[in-house]
Structure 1
């Protein structure tokens, strides 16, 4: 095995080894502002929006249960760059088995102008994001838009 790149195979240093999905440490929920992408049910990340970790101890359904009443799940919502990327859909356990309500959701505000993508992220991804903990029910929007 290549010591400098342990995820590479011995036989072919250019080919990634297979990943064991049980090795993903999905323990944090991230949120990012999204907007409709022009096709029904499709969203895209808002320009200049960055993801933030809003919970380190819950999964997406736990966060959904605590949202203010003005926020609702956008049924059958998909995100450009995730659900339409064949590499992600083929390999990432959060997307390759179809809709996984425990790992992903898009929520819409009653005003119809604000949308947020919620996604379970692993430990490595969470390190790269700032944290704005979602502790109080009425503070959800301040986590996404400080």
Structure 2
């Protein structure tokens, strides 16, 4: 079975993430979305909330499952019996960092990294930017799934009045 991992923090999941996950789901028999538990960072959404949102918005793909992990990504890949990581690249600046990580992952555990260029319509989207725009009441509805849009409004936008 050809199995790949799409890792990230997904705080929150965006349409750019879904584009990469969906495209990977057409290339592999199974795609595991690995949600990183980073104890040194406090996310806007809990790990459980992120996993639930991801499970709901990836259900349409059929061959995608969502799991959380902590520690080394290569250890998660080994535990999932996945020999490939799929990473989306938005810009050259992403490549510099991701290439170093890919080379380390290959050296540590023979885990290959497949870089997928982001669809140009999503190339400027990041979870951080989405949260910042949503915090100030900007319209992010075209950039995130509807359930994420609703969750962001509830979490970030103070009630009027």
Which protein shows a greater Rg?
A: 1
User: Which structure's residues are more often helix, by fraction?
Assistant: 2
Q: Give the TM-score normalised by the residue count of structure 2.
A: 0.27
Taking structure 1 as the reference length, what is the TM-score of the superposition? Answer: 0.29
